[in-house]
Amino acid sequence: MTETDLVALLQEGRRRERAQTLYYRRLTGLAEEANDPVTAERLNALLADEQHHMSRLTARLLEMGVRAEPVDTPPVPDVPLDAWEDDARRREQEEVGWYEEAVAMVSDAPTRTALIEILSSEKHHRDELGGKWMPASRQSPDGDEEG
């Protein structure tokens, strides 16, 4: 994989993470409106993880000396709160598949480390539909967060 391809892959990952962030942000708002603090907490933890994934990918680009381009704001699907779990599980399975393919394609060691970490987190999301699965020691510096 050329460096250009690697940058494109990281940008695509950022686009996906932004979509996931906006997805969970909307649902968190719905849960708060519905006075459902338990669901809001779960969704908020997922949201925090997705923001963290975004930060890791952005940090990797910066380490490579590449400017992280802004990513498009995707349309946020209109899934109702009472159907969020099946929909989110399907989305997380897609994330797992994407990161598995990415890990298989990438040989750059630091990028692989980041991708493998995120993949592990996405598997937890899929299996538990909860968050806080990114190790704290890997937190990116403040100011790097998007969404």
CA angle 52, 56, 15 (to 5 degrees): 80
Q: How far apart are CA 33 and CA 31, in angstroms?
A: 5
- Residues 88-107, interacting with Fe ion (CB under 5 A): 92
| Least distance CB 39 / Fe ion (angstroms) | 16
Q: 54, 147 in Cβ contact below 8 A?
A: yes
What is the widest separation between alpha-carbon atoms in the chain? 49
Q: 146, 18 in Cβ contact below 8 A?
A: yes
Assess 117 for contact with Fe ion (CB under 5 A).
no
Q: How far apart are CA 35 and CA 27, in angstroms?
A: 12
Assess 122 for contact with Fe ion (CB under 5 A).
yes
Whichever of 53 and 60 has its CB closer to Fe ion, that residue is 53
| Least distance CB 123 / Fe ion (angstroms) | 9
Q: How far apart are CA 119 and CA 116, in angstroms?
A: 5
- Residues 11-40, interacting with Fe ion (CB under 5 A): 17, 20
Judged by CB under 5 A, the residue of 14, 18, 26, 125 near Fe ion is 125
Give the interface segment with Fe ion, choosing from 36-44, 80-88, 107-115, 124-132 (CB under 5 A): 124-132
Number of residues lying near Fe ion (CB under 5 A): 7
| Least distance CB 16 / Fe ion (angstroms) | 7
- Residues 53-82, interacting with Fe ion (CB under 5 A): 53
Q: At what angle do helices 84-105 and 109-128 cross, to 10 degrees?
A: 160
Q: Which residues bind Fe ion (CB under 5 A)?
A: 17, 20, 50, 53, 92, 122, 125
